[in-house]
């Protein structure tokens, strides 16, 4: 048994969570959980906040499909000092993207290079029955072009996501609306990461891709839901991905093993490949009721807690080898 005490912390994209369902608004919760463990493995949705990424120092930025495979025991994750990042864009590269890449090089010391796609990666997002969905085209051609690029360790996909004006306005003016860009963004990243077997994240280009001047200016002229605020103060939406991929762990035969994972922290009413992998491996699943998913997936065998504060307490009990009931009021006789 590993002596390391690591935790996987996930909030999948597009499932309607009150915390982590917008723009990096789960970062404080992730920072709290990070204080209880050696390493915290985070899917990008947890900390991506457009041009902001305040992930904890002991955080490892792991794309969802890669995290799923890791939890199934298919490979280990090797920590690195830095990755060489290919910033993948549609041709021609936009000036704001070039500036964002140069800013990352200047401030973070990242080794990055822009790669223009031979065929456009098309992505669109919209609502269907009130939930986000989308279309895409050009992924196979992208994978074919990027697969031979062995001189890069990670791929930041920085391409536009087309969202009509009505949908975008609904999102920014209704605090209950889910992000129409996030669902398709996560699905595309998942497909590319599975094919390339390298760290991948899609930069959430949103407002910058909209052409209607009135729509472009609307979020900047109004106070929006605080959970969406990072999006309306951002320009290119790329920096969060650059920071995350800078030191994202690589798929290897050495490194962090799933046996070192003490628990999976997840929203309640959420069941996916990561949960199934942990359940099969006997890794405890801690489900947070206060952050229940709107997806309404079938309940599973988990430790149910009220909130992330309680989740941190349960983890500390596990770390100390203390039965959780022993720190609660006991009734005798």
The phi and psi torsions of 133 (rounded to 5 degrees) equal -150, -170
- The pLDDT score that the predictor gives to residue 24 is 79
As a whole number, mean pLDDT of residues 21-31 equals: 89
User: The CATH number of the domain where 209 resides is what?
Assistant: 3.40.50
| pLDDT over 90 at 313, yes or no | yes
Confirm whether pTM is higher than 0.95.
no
Residue 166 lies in a domain: yes
Helix (H) or strand (E) run with residue 40 in it: strand 40-42
Whether omega for the bond prior to residue 290 falls within 30 degrees of 0, making it cis, is: no
- Whole-angstrom distance, CA of residue 147 vs CA of residue 226: 39
Select from 179, 214, 246 the last residue of a domain.
246
What pLDDT does residue 214 have?
A: 46
Structural domain harbouring 10: 6-79+250-327
Query: What letter would DSSP give residue 67?
Result: H
Q: What is the pLDDT of residues 210-232, one digit of tens each?
A: 444 444 555 556 677 767 676 66
2 has pLDDT over 70:
no
* Boundary (domain end) residue, out of 179, 213, 246: 246
CB 39 within 8 A of CB 2: no
Are 114 and 172 found together in one domain? yes
95 and 242: one domain?
Answer: yes
Q: What is the pLDDT of residues 104-150, one digit of tens each?
A: 999 999 999 999 999 999 998 888 887 778 899 999 999 999 999 99
Query: 233 CB contacts (<8 Å, ≥6 apart)?
Result: 50, 51
Give percent above pLDDT 70 in the chain.
89
Rounded-to-integer distance, Cα 44 and Cα 65, Å: 11
Strands 154-157 and 250-252: unpaired
CA distances (Å), origin 26, targets 17, 71, 270, 321: 10, 22, 16, 27
Given this model, what pLDDT does residue 294 score? Answer: 74
Q: Confirm if 137 and 188 have CB atoms less than 8 A apart.
A: no
Q: Which of 246, 274, 305 is the last residue of a domain?
A: 246
pLDDT digits (tens, 9 = 90+) for 93-102: 989 899 999 9
63-75 pLDDT, tens digit per residue, is 999 999 999 999 9
Q: Are residues 100 and 234 in the same domain?
A: yes
Binned at pLDDT 50, 70 and 90, residue 209 comes out as very low
pLDDT band for 185, please (50, 70, 90 cuts). confident
Q: Judge whether 190 lies within some domain.
A: yes
Residue 332 in domain: no
* Shared-domain flag, residues 98 and 179: yes
Residue 206 has pLDDT above 90, yes or no: no
Residue 180 — pLDDT band, cuts 50, 70, 90? confident
Q: How many domains does the chain have?
A: 2
Cβ–Cβ < 8 Å for 238, 262? no
């Amino acid at each position: 048994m590993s002596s390391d005490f690591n935790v996987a912390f996930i909030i999948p994209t597009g499932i309607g969570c009150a915390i982590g369902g917008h723009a990096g608004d789960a970062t404080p919760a992730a920072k709290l959980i990070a204080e209880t463990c050696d390493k915290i493995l985070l899917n990008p949705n947890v900390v991506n906040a457009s041009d902001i990424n305040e992930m904890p120092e002991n955080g490892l930025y792991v794309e969802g499909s890669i995290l799923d495979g890791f939890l199934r025991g298919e490979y280990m994750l090797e920590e690195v000092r830095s990755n060489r990042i290919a910033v993948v864009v549609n041709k021609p590269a936009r000036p704001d993207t070039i500036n964002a890449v140069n800013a990352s090089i200047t401030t973070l010391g990242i080794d990055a290079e822009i790669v223009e796609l031979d065929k456009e990666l098309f992505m669109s997002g919209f609502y269907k029955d009130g939930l986000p969905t989308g279309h895409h085209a050009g992924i196979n051609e992208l994978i074919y072009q990027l697969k031979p690029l062995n001189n890069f360790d990670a791929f930041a996909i920085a391409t536009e996501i087309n969202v009509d004006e009505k949908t975008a306005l609904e999102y920014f003016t209704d605090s209950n609306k889910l992000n129409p860009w996030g669902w398709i963004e996560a699905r595309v990243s998942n497909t590319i990461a599975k094919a390339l077997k390298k760290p991948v994240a899609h930069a959430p280009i949103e407002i910058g891709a909209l052409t209607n001047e009135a729509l472009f200016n609307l979020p900047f002229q109004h106070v929006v839901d605080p959970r969406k605020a990072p999006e309306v103060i951002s320009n290119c939406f790329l920096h969060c991905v650059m920071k995350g991929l800078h030191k994202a762990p690589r798929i290897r035969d050495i490194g962090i093993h799933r046996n070192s994972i003490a628990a999976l922290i997840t929203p309640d009413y959420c069941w996916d490949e990561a949960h199934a992998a942990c359940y099969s491996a006997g890794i405890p699943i801690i489900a947070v009721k206060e952050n229940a998913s709107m997806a309404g997936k079938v309940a599973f065998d988990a430790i149910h807690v009220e909130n992330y504060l309680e989740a941190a307490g349960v983890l500390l009990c596990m770390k100390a080898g203390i039965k959780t009931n022993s720190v609660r009021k006991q009734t005798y006789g």
